[in-house]
Amino acid sequence: MSLSERADKERSLQHGANIADACRKCQIGYERRHNVYGEGNPCADLLLVGEGPGETEDLMGRPFVGRAGQLLEKMLESIGFAREDVYICNTVKCRPTSPGERGPKNRAPDPTEMANCRPYLDEQIEIIRPRVILALGAPAAKSFLGRDFQITKQRGCWYTGPHGIDLMVTFHPAYVLRQTGGELTQVKRLVWNDLKAVRDKLQEPPKQPPAPEITQAELF
């Protein structure tokens, strides 16, 4: 990809980030500290999509920077990727919270918030055009594959995402961090299998776009 194509993508993503920053379609748009649009390589082959910003992400304005982010970086390293190689974003750009005893606590985005925010995610996919999308956790998976998606039964398979892009689902790093003992070992093994499948998919030759149809008159 040429430098000018990369610069075009960067400009388009920055434009999208500016629009999302001014967005107040949901109540959480008024409550968040920062709009967490996404970051990374605008020409990435691999796009990671989580559910929504947590407390640290909201504070810093960057996706996956807390403990889950550190684990995500280790997961990426295990298949030979640095954070800078991929693009990372979420299904919603503002932190979803509910009232807690010690202040707002994280919650999963609700269907209305995900629907409101979907155009920003679609635009990111359209600009980046990755070869593989890795959805992290059930909310991200459901945003692509429907509300009935069951992560424990249906993760680890290939699906067709937007624009025909290959889509894999694995557990969210925050879910992995909540496991202990034998459960932790088992979940880590499943995530490792999913990541290996992503690595292998990215080592395949890129899909060729379908050849344009030729009419008989154009043949000779």
* Residues making contact with ligand SF4 (CB under 6 A): 20, 23-26, 28-29, 35, 92-94, 113, 116-117
Cβ proximity to ligand SF4, 23 vs 79, nearer residue: 23
Query: In the bound complex, what is the minimum distance in angstroms from residue 216's beta carbon to ligand SF4?
Result: 50
Q: Judge contact between 78 and 136, C-beta under 8 A.
A: no
Which structure tokens are listed for 38? Answer: 């996404």
- Number of alpha carbons in the 13 Å side-chain half-sphere of residue 172: 24
3-state secondary structure of 72: helix
Q: Of 173, 164, 152, 167, which Cα lies nearest the Cα of 201? A: 167
Which stretches does DSSP call E strand in the chain? 39-40, 46-50, 87-90, 97-98, 105-106, 132-136, 158-160, 166-170
- Tell how far CA 15 is from the center of its chain: 19
Closer Cβ to ligand SF4, 143 or 170, answer by number: 143
Minimum CB separation from ligand SF4 for residue 135, in Å?
17
CB of 95 to ligand SF4, least distance (A): 9
In the complex, the smallest distance separating the C-beta of residue 32 from ligand SF4, rounded to whole angstroms, is: 7
Of the pair 94, 165, the CB lying nearest ligand SF4 is at 94
Residue placing its CB nearer to ligand SF4 in the complex, 45 or 51: 51
Nearer to ligand SF4, 29 or 50 (CB): 29
Minimal distance, residue 26 CB to ligand SF4, in Å: 3
